[in-house]
Amino acid sequence: MSYQEVYQSSITDPERFWTEAAAQVSWIRPFTRAFQDGRWFVDGTLNTCYNCIDRHLEKGLAEQAALIYDSPVTGQKQTLTFRELRDRVALFAGALRAHGVEKGDRVLIYMPMTCEALISMYACARLGAVHSVVFGGFASQELAVRLDDARPKVVVTASCGIEIQRIVDYKPLLDKAIELASHKPDHCIVLQRPQHPCELQEGRDVEWQEALSRAEPAECVEVAASDPLYILYTSGTTGKPKGVVRDNGGHAVALQWSMKHVYGMEPGEVFWAASDIGWAVGHSYIAYGPLLHGCTTVVHEGKPVRTPDPGNFWRLIAEHKVSALFTAPTAIRAIKQEDPAGDYLKKYDISCLRTLFLAGERLDPDTYHWARNLLECPVIDHWWQTETGWPVAANPVGIELMPVKPGSPTRPVPGYRIEILDDEGQPLAPEKDGAVALKLPLPPGCFYTLWEDEARFQESYFERFPGYYFTGDGGYIDEDGYVFIMGRIDDVIIVSGHNLSTGSIEEAVASHPDVAECAVFGVKDPLRTQLPVGLLVLKSGTQTPHPQVIDEVVALVRAKVGPVANFKQVAIVDRLPKTRSGKILRSSLRKLADGEDFKVPSTIEDPSALDEIKVALRGLGYSS
């Protein structure tokens, strides 16, 4: 079937469409109706861990690789078969149960990218417990907020994480968070890493191996499809994080369907999502999606560069025969910046790589063309959110590979109805910029509430445009039905009454051959309301004088966006402030330039990156 045929069937008869998709999932008690009372598969029962692991043993795949661990920062590699993974997960589930964890209890996971991190997630799913993964190394105050909100019975952690050549001491961060929090977990199970062991608190802390030594393997627990699988916190405008809740049934159905139809994967192939389990990508496409579909997943503890060099990704793909890589554009830009000619790729045979998928931020056309020309395989931009849990717009290679339009994540994924709305909530014509919204009902796999905050769930996502989920993004749909996401609504710059997208200006800036990456944001101007400011990071080895680069970039924006952009304020910096997931902190940059007070976000990867920015902004005449 063509994309259009599949998409139309998902829209005209969604119950039938998702009932057929749900046949690929193993149910304990099958559901009687796919959609009722606003939820999917509510009266069915299953177990997510069984669907990820145990059932593959019953299909004769016990010796197939389920999980490959590759850590260039420690030099360690490990492969676990489905049988080995089942045994380790069942035993750790028994250890959690021995420490009081049962169906419905919460377990907070604060771990680096190790096998044990995924084992912890699967063990919770095995028991019907609800896991809440917090990015390893997250600040104590932010971790305390999550402890108080989720109220976990047990915390699973490690003594440390490793960032390139830096040790991140997890245990003191966790101890401080527990001290700050009102809620105190009963126990902390601690993985002692040889790179930096930690001290344990008697009576509360238990070492991982000791916990296993006293445990009995646990079987899978039957849960309702509508029961929560996990809570994943995402940032909120009020400062209080939003606990996105994912269910078991819709999550399993949507992710398994997406692995074949969006990502074009077949069981037995190796899928690598180069992300972290602290983010939605890590949940959906490291931990759950690949194993639901019978693929091998990769757990990578390292970076695209400096672990040890910009050939790290290519080395891993060649060594482990990766069929599809999913990462963020910022990772590709980092590689491009350090190795613009792609010399490191020449050392490896990556003919096994069939597709590169990029998401998490807007993919600028320059990065798209660089990756496409270098890798000589399809480069697929796709767009989704923590709240949706799986792609909303994509080029679905498992259905039909459509022509690419650089700058667009292509067309809506089957099950999603994307519309562009004006301020009154009315659909706009093609090519018109507006708010990106998803017409209800949402397909399976999307969040169904915020943890113990239904009122905020309704207010944040559904009140602005009744009948729609408001994504918070702006963009347009062209005459061919291709979706263009131009950035968050608050990333729109108003210059002399004209609404300008930061994405369109960044696209022009990034087309300069010496620019590795950039950030454009609006600052206050008494005459024009706002003016755009650009910060550039140049490619390694660039010989062009900085003033010349700036002049040429300004000319590019004038030519491609127009004089109305009034783009003249540009500075060159060594790095941009980013979250650990790679998103550039444009709102923080805007507040810095405007001289507003702000709290350094807890998600920032390196707070010292802001120091250079302050100097650069002062050089442009802005307060910082």
CATH number of the domain at 154, please: 3.40.50.12780
pLDDT band at 362 (very low <50, low <70, confident <90, very high): confident
Domain assignment present for 75: yes
Q: Are residues 507 and 463 in the same domain?
A: no
* Of 50, 55, 45, nearest in space to 22 by CA: 45
Higher pLDDT, 54 or 361: 54
DSSP collapsed to 3 states, 512-580 = CCCEEEEEEEEEEECCCEEEEEEEEEECCCCCCCHHHHHHHHHHHHHHHCCHHHCCCEEEECCCCCEEC
First to last CA, the chain: 56
Which pLDDT score is estimated for 236? 59
Which pLDDT score is estimated for 624? 56
- pLDDT tens-digit series, residues 249-279: 999 999 999 999 999 999 999 999 999 999 9
Total structural domains in the chain?
2
Domain closes at, from 421, 440, 475? 475
Amino acid identity for residue 583 in this structure: K
pTM: 0.89
Give dist(CA 596, CA 593) in Å, integer.
8
- pLDDT tens-digit series, residues 144-163: 999 999 999 999 999 999 98
Percentage of residues in the chain having pLDDT higher than 70: 98
Q: Are residues 507 and 458 in the same domain?
A: no
* Of 425, 422, 469, nearest in space to 443 by CA: 469
**Is pLDDT of 237 > 70?**
no
- pLDDT tens-digit series, residues 78-131: 999 999 999 999 999 999 999 999 999 999 999 999 999 999 999 999 999 999
Which pLDDT score is estimated for 18? 98
Q: Which residues have a Cβ under 8 Å from the Cβ of 70 and sit 6 or more positions away?
A: 77, 298, 299, 300, 301, 302, 316, 319, 320
Tokens representing 526? 């008494």
pLDDT band at 5 (very low <50, low <70, confident <90, very high): very high
Domain assignment present for 490: no
Find tokens 């039957």 and name the residue: 222
Domain assignment present for 471: yes
Domain assignment present for 325: no
- pLDDT tens-digit series, residues 422-433: 989 999 999 998
Instruction: Kindly write down the DSSP assignment for every residue of 460-486, as one continuous string.
Output: HHTSSSTTEEEEEEEEEE-TTS-EEEE
- Cβ–Cβ < 8 Å for 604, 614: no
Which pLDDT score is estimated for 497? 66
Cis peptide leading into residue 601 (ω within 30°): no
Tokens representing 127? 């028991």
Domain assignment present for 11: yes
- Cβ–Cβ < 8 Å for 521, 590: yes
- Cβ–Cβ < 8 Å for 237, 117: no
Q: Are residues 64 and 169 in the same domain?
A: yes
Domain that holds residue 130: 3-302+382-475
Which pLDDT score is estimated for 541? 92
* Of 67, 75, 281, 286, nearest in space to 162 by CA: 75
Q: Are residues 455 and 567 in the same domain?
A: no
Mean pLDDT of 393-422: 97
H helices present in 398-480, as ranges:
454-461
Find tokens 């018109």 and name the residue: 432
Mean pLDDT of 232-237: 76
Domain assignment present for 80: yes
Q: Are residues 467 and 532 in the same domain?
A: no
Q: Which helix (H) or strand (E) holds 616?
A: helix 609-619
Which pLDDT score is estimated for 587? 80
CATH number of the domain at 562, please: 3.30.300.30
CA angle 208, 212, 213 (to 5 degrees): 115
Give dist(CA 465, CA 423) in Å, integer.
9
pLDDT band at 563 (very low <50, low <70, confident <90, very high): confident
- Cβ–Cβ < 8 Å for 52, 67: no
Mean pLDDT of 400-428: 96
Q: Are residues 454 and 539 in the same domain?
A: no
- Please state, as a whole number, how many other Cβ atoms lie within 10 Å of the Cβ of residue 495: 18
Higher pLDDT, 196 or 488: 196
Mean pLDDT of 23-34: 98
Q: Are residues 505 and 418 in the same domain?
A: no
Q: Are residues 450 and 532 in the same domain?
A: no
- Cβ–Cβ < 8 Å for 261, 396: yes
**Is pLDDT of 399 > 70?**
yes
Amino acid identity for residue 576 in this structure: L
Q: Are residues 530 and 461 in the same domain?
A: no
Domain assignment present for 317: no
Q: Are residues 36 and 96 in the same domain?
A: yes
Q: Give the start-end residues of each E strand in 304-450.
A: 322-327, 355-358, 379-381, 393-394, 411-412, 418-421, 434-439, 449-450
**Is pLDDT of 291 > 70?**
yes
Relative to beta strand 468-477, strand 483-488 is: antiparallel
Domain assignment present for 365: no
The per-type count for the chain, helices as H runs and strands as E runs, is 20, 32
Percentage of residues in the chain having pLDDT higher than 90: 83
Give Cα separations from 408 to 264, 320, 352, 555 (angstroms).
19, 30, 26, 24
Q: Are residues 396 and 544 in the same domain?
A: no
Q: Are residues 529 and 602 in the same domain?
A: yes
- Please state, as a whole number, how many other Cβ atoms lie within 10 Å of the Cβ of residue 346: 10
Tokens representing 440? 């209800």
**Is pLDDT of 598 > 90?**
no
Give dist(CA 109, CA 408) in Å, integer.
35
